[in-house]
Amino acid sequence: MSFEDDERFEQELRRAFGAEDPGEVFTQRVVNRVTVDAVRSVPPRPPARAPWWVALPFAASLVVAVGGVAWVQYARHVEEGERARTQVLTALRLTSEKLNVVRSAVIQAQELR
């Protein structure tokens, strides 16, 4: 055999470069990798949106809670107001009683002259 002939040499080269099929095992490995890759690339689904009326009990609870706090605060305010009013009235009564005592003493003093 001689490779001085170009055409013959190139024929041998084509045989040497002949493509070889890696077989069905290769195909399955590729398919497996593609399947795993496809699953990994799927973005996570956003949480499903619930119907609007599902939030109603929560909204109602929130309103009741806020309203309840406001009522308690109002009631305390009223109570404090009543307490203050009572204190003022008591102070006025005491003052008035003392003034009466002083008035009586002054009148007595004037009658004795």
Partner 1 sequence: MLLKLTVPQGVAAPLEARPAGAADDERLARARGGDTVAFADLVRRYQAMVFSLAWRIVNNRALAEELAQDVFLQLHRNLATIESGAHVTHWLRRVVAHRAIDLARQLARRPQANLADVPEPAAPSVERDPFMVRRLRALIATLPAAPRAVLTLRFQEDLEPSEIARVLDMPLNTVKSHLRRGLAVLRGRAQDLVELRSHELRG
| Residues near partner 1, by CB under 8 A | 1-4, 9-10, 12-22, 24, 26-27, 29-31, 33-35, 37-38
Q: Where are the alpha helices (DSSP H) in the chain?
A: 6-16, 24-40, 56-112
Q: For residue 22, how far is the Cα from the chain centroid?
A: 56
Taking the least distance from each CB to partner 1, the nearer of 22 and 43 is 22
C-alpha distances out from residue 24 to 19, 20, 33, Å: 15, 12, 14
Least distance in Å: CB of 7 to partner 1? 12
Taking the least distance from each CB to partner 1, the nearer of 8 and 85 is 8
Least distance in Å: CB of 12 to partner 1? 6
Least distance in Å: CB of 24 to partner 1? 8
Secondary structure string (H, E, C) spanning 68-82: HHHHHHHHHHHHHHH
Taking the least distance from each CB to partner 1, the nearer of 21 and 111 is 21
